[in-house]
Chains A and B, each alone.
Chain A
Amino acid sequence: MRKEIELSLNEYETLLNKAAVGSGLPWGVAEDAAACGAWFMSFGVNELDTWIAYLNDNLFWIDYCKKIDQPKSNKLNNIFDLAASVYVNPDTVVKLTSYEWNIQGLLIDGVKQIPSYRACLSEKQFKILNEYAYKTYAPATDESRLSGAGAGLSDND
């Protein structure tokens, strides 16, 4: 059986955000990329591998953000475009092959998806996301350890 990691949805979104920054996306673009990934997960859209693959494509996410900022000129080509549309205007009704967004929420092949606040991902996916996220953490040094947190030599009392 494939091992899975379970996270809360906001913990997952934070991880996606860090991974996106770690992959080289600017802070603000990473926020939208993470929101997109969390949106997929909450509705059971299994696109995490695609999302991860796009981490190496800054232009994809910059274009994605432009679609969010100008939803009226957004032509739906894929599920990411649909996410970009409904993210800004949840009242809209949009259809794309097997996906439909309407007042009920997201329907996949006509089946209404129940939003969840949990995220399940494979160990491999979790490992990849953490490897990207890790790039945002400063290396441990004695200088940093001693001065950075302000606790000094003794934080006991």
Chain B
Amino acid sequence: MRLDRMGSMHQSRLSFLRQFLRRASKENWKFNRDLFEINANGVGRALYRLSTPLRDYTLICFSHDLPDEMRSDRVIASAWDATFTLYDGKPTLDDLARLEKHVPYQEEGRLTQNELCLSRANRSVRLWDYVLDCLSNGNQPDSDRVRDVGYLMRTTAVYGSGKFGSADRRVVENREEANSPFQLEMMTVYLIRTFVMDLIEYLAKIKNPDKAVKLDSFIRRSFGVGNSTGLGMAPFLVNHPRLIHNWFEAKENAIATVKNVQTATRVEISRFLDLVSRLKPHLKAWQSEHPIQIEKNLVLGRDIKKLESKLENFNFDSQFPWKLLCDWSETELSLEGQEMLNSLVLEPYGHLVDSFGDQMSCDEAILFPIDGEMTISNVKSTIEKYYGWALKIDWLDPSCDARAWYTSEEKLEPRLGERYEMPELNEYEQALQPGRDVARAYKDLCELEPEISVANFLKTHPEHRHIIRRCLTCSELPFSEIRDNTIDSSMLPIDMLRAKLSFFGACHFDPRSDRWVRINMFKGAPFPNELSSGSDPENWIWAP
């Protein structure tokens, strides 16, 4: 795994929101809006329930009247346009009264084991008032303007897995619908999207009861949910090596399976070509002001043309056609283009690849044990074999350890600092630089007799315990480690964010800086009522 490729990944059939929609459709989950009590100022509460064959989940929404000057996407914000929690079952009025005292305060509140996720969202300044005005005056919003933003609200955090008192992951992990990673978080975001669309139509009606109209169903679908993401996602990738390995391995196995398809059927080819025809409109809607993404999108535009041109003369009757195409892309397309193709070729082959999605979760509850009887000679060999890239870096060069990952006392916001400009950060540095730490441990290992046991080494060098455990863990899992320097002066955290977000199923990545990115989720996807009345859960992807 290299950062530049991770920073070029796209959503695929295995992405978590795709898995969520697939299951919801297959199991015919039922949808109900159990409550919608919102006043003319947009303040109130609403309940959106999804019923699986075995149980109910309810999104509890609190809608607020937020002054414009308080709107901020950062963790350090203290108020939002809307706040949410996903409740395990059907909440009682007492539950609502209890949660109303906590959910609007987000990190400052406390949840119980009945709550599964905590989230909040802010209105898009670019689009909210405009769409509200259009609808209240009886007009539909301009589809180009909607396309360029893509959402009416964007979430600024979706917390799960036991955060702030909510249910521990182990409470739900054995439920089929929650076993794959982030399924309940996907459910939360999906229901938020529905609430947001209901809210704006409702407020338009309040504003002008005689003239207001609802959104045209086509335009309505073109709204996803935005998400604004800072550095918090980057440490996750480093802190969960066993889980991350499973994600990347599943996708690699899926790609390998499709490359191994000897002959493609007409239906499969036609499905692929249909998706290729969506790429140009999709790219047109992919707006970004960030120079890195502007350049990447320019190159991707050229890649799409190259792909179209290649396909004009491509003989799909060849043996192993997808392997031929993917091999061609490796020399002819940029990483963006290669990764786009890697996602596209999976689409006609759900029957072969979707089951890899079942292998993407991981029991991380138990720490990886260290075999203390192992000699340090063995550890050194492991490091040389799997971390050769880290040993080649000149760690005395200030550009190679230029950054420090830390947590600020300000609402525990994750941050990245320039070590040599803010030397005080060294004291607060987190263990998010495996490359440097493994090189330090290796240096100390080299100074000792090779037959010394690891247990004795770690007794005299406890400062290396985390990295020795990591080396031994990752050496068995080829996709567990980012084989790049995570504290280099040129490192782009957005590459890590993009990889994780692509596994979520996000699109339209729009970096705001090297460590902050906006994205869109569920753009073009059927709404719950459409899904339960038979809409295709798959064929909305690569929407413009």
Contact = CB atoms under 8 A, between A and B. Distances in A.
Q: Do A and B come from one complex?
A: yes
Interface of A: 6-11, 25-29, 31-32, 35, 58, 62-63, 65-66, 68-70, 87-88, 117-118, 134, 136-140, 143-145, 147-152, 155-157
Contacts of B464: 26, 28
Contact of B513 (A32, A136, A152): A152
Contact of B406 (A6, A8, A138): A138
B372 A70 contact: yes
Interface string B381-420: 0000000000000000000000000111110111111100
A152 B463 CA distance: 35
B367 A149 contact: no
B55 interface: no
A156 B69 CA distance: 10
A10 B516 contact: no
Contacts of B168: 8-11, 117-118
B228 A140 contact: no
Nearest to B516: A150
Contacts of A147: 417-418
A27, A69, A139 pick with most chain B CB within 10 angstroms: A69
Interface string B503-524: 0000000001111101000000
13 contacts: A10-B169, A27-B465, A28-B463, A28-B466, A28-B467, A65-B465, A87-B366, A118-B113, A137-B428, A149-B413, A149-B414, A155-B512, A157-B125
Contacts of A151: 73-74, 230, 512-513, 516
Interface of B: 71-76, 110, 112-113, 122, 124-126, 149, 154, 161-171, 228, 230-231, 365-367, 369-373, 406-410, 412-418, 422, 424-425, 427-428, 430-431, 453-455, 458-459, 462-469, 493, 512-516, 518
A137 B411 CA distance: 10
A69 B367 CA distance: 12
A66 B458 contact: yes
Of all A-B residue pairs in the complex, the 5 with the closest CB atoms, nearest first, are A28-B465, A69-B372, A148-B415, A150-B515, A8-B162
B462 A65 contact: yes
Contacts of B126: 157
B168, B407, B413, B493 pick with most chain A CB within 10 angstroms: B168
Given A148-B416, A151-B512, A134 B76 contact: no
Given A10-B169, A151-B230, A31 B367 contact: yes
Contacts of A31: 367, 465-466, 469
Contact of B367 (A6, A35, A70): A35
A83 to B, nearest CB: 12
A117 B170 contact: yes
Contacts of A26: 462-466
Contact of A32 (B74, B367, B412, B428): B367
Given A66-B455, A148-B413, A88 B369 contact: yes
Nearest to A88: B369
Contact of B163 (A11, A62, A143, A148): A11
B110, B369, B453 pick with most chain A CB within 10 angstroms: B369
Contacts of B369: 68-69, 87-88
A134 B165 CA distance: 19
Given A117-B168, A156-B125, A136 B465 contact: no
Contacts of A29: 462, 465
Contacts of A32: 367, 465
Contacts of A149: 74-75, 230-231, 413-415, 515-516
A69 B338 CA distance: 44
B428 A145 contact: no
A150 B373 contact: no
A63 B455 CA distance: 10
A77 B453 CA distance: 24
A147 B415 CA distance: 8
A144 B367 contact: no
B512 A150 contact: yes
B124, B161, B370 pick with most chain A CB within 10 angstroms: B370
Contacts of B162: 7-11, 117
